[in-house]
Amino acid sequence: MLTRRLFLTGVLAAAAAPQAALAKPARKPFVINPVFQPQYVSFDSSYAPGTVVIDPRSRFLYLVEDGFTARRYGVGVGRAGRAFHGSAKIGRKEVWPRWVPTQGMISRQPNKYARYAGGVSGGPHNPLGARALYLYRNGRDTYYRIHGTTEPWSIGRAVSNGCIRMINAHVMDLYARVPLGARVVVI
Q: Pick the catalytic residue: 85, 125, 147, 170?
A: 147
End-to-end alpha carbon distance in the chain: 74
Verify whether residue 163 is a known catalytic residue. Answer: yes
Verify whether residue 85 is a known catalytic residue. Answer: no
Q: Pick the catalytic residue: 85, 125, 163, 170?
A: 163
Pairing label, strands 164-165, 140-147: parallel
Which residues on adjacent β-strands are paired with residue 77? Answer: 158
The set of catalytic residues is 147, 163
